[in-house]
């Protein structure tokens, strides 16, 4: 009698390799902004995920073809400081996972 609890993005919490529970999906996050090394310039290839979230990211300027750089990342699945078009923004881990490189 166990029901899977889902968060606002429709993902069930999963345990990662270190034993910590996270709300990311079981899919591989390679090729997303989350896996980028600090101060590495990368180019956005696409935005994927929830349509409302994708629309918000596009309005903020995260459009395909733009170069971005992760300046800092909080430990665990915390926010990331991202430089884009001369502006530094903070993104949630789930938002950064939607940005494909």
Q: Where are the domains of the chain?
A: 28-100
CATH class for the domain made up of 28-100: mainly beta
Q: Are 82 and 71 in contact (CB under 8 A)?
A: yes
What is residue 5's predicted lDDT score, i.e. its pLDDT? Answer: 47
The Cα–Cα gap between 84 and 100 comes to: 15
The Cα–Cα gap between 10 and 29 comes to: 17
Alpha-carbon dihedral angle through residues 73, 40, 31, 94, given to the nearest 10 degrees: 20
Task: Give the predicted TM-score (pTM) of the model.
Answer: 0.68
Average pLDDT for consecutive 10-residue bins of the chain (101 residues)?
A: 47 45 49 90 93 93 94 89 94 92 92
């Amino acid at each position: 009698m166990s029901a899977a609890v889902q968060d606002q993005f429709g993902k069930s919490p999963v345990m990662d390799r270190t034993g910590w529970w996270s709300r990311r999906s079981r899919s591989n996050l390679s090729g997303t902004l989350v896996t980028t090394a600090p101060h590495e310039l990368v180019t956005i290839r696409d935005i994927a995920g929830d349509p409302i979230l994708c629309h918000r990211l596009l309005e903020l300027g995260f459009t395909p073809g733009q170069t971005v750089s992760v300046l800092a990342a909080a430990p665990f699945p915390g926010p990331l400081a991202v430089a884009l078009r001369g502006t530094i923004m903070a993104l949630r881990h789930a938002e950064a996972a939607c940005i494909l490189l």
